[in-house]
A = this chain, B = another copy of it.
Amino acid sequence: MTDSNPNASLTAPSIHGDALPPVEQHAQQYATVRNAHETELIEDYVELIGDLLTHRGEARAADIANRMAVSQATVSKMIRRLNELELVTSKPYRSLFLTEAGQKMAETSRARHDIVLHFLRALGVKDATARIDAEGMEHHVSDETLDIMQRFTEQQQKS
């Protein structure tokens, strides 16, 4: 018996409210998540570098390592990748800078992050929790949902 057997559900009736989505849609969901995973670390680094540049004036590997709770070696390796992707420019032993593409990515990421964070706070989530959740959620929120979150937050603030 395979997944496409149309009678299967007759022999094993659902006790759940939600049935399984069609295979193609289901596959799409997982593929989208896998895809997000490939870019999200990159985005986190770029976003953090952008934040450090904005708030501190420079972005050093040691700061990134501390804030990400990761070894300096890991950061160094990652910076090489970011360089290859032309998201940052770096001279050995010097502060990092974002390329134009990097800046664009940092801004987009930061904006998404803020929308999610503010939305969670508007929902009534405690700040510390909201920050943790936002960090994890931001890469998995579609533009459509992001839009709705933003409107919700604005509504909330009016009242």
Q: Number of residues in A with C-beta < 8 Å to the partner?
A: 70
Chain B residues, CB < 8 A from A2: 60, 62-63
Once A9-B55, A14-B54, A56-B9 are accepted as A-B contacts, the answer to whether A148 and B132 lie under 8 Å apart by CB is no
Give the secondary structure class of A's interface: helix
- A57 contacts the other chain (CB 8 A): yes
Among the stretches A20-28, A76-84, A85-93, the one at the interface with B is: A20-28
Q: How near does chain B come to A112, taking the closest CB pair, in angstroms?
A: 13
Give the CA-CA distance A8 to B27 in the complex, in Å.
Answer: 48
Q: A13-45: which residues lie under 8 A (CB-CB) from chain B?
A: 14-21, 23, 25-33, 36-37, 44
Once A20-B51, A30-B67 are accepted as A-B contacts, the answer to whether A140 and B137 lie under 8 Å apart by CB is yes
Contact A137 B126 (CB under 8 A): no
Chain B residues, CB < 8 A from A129: 142, 144-145
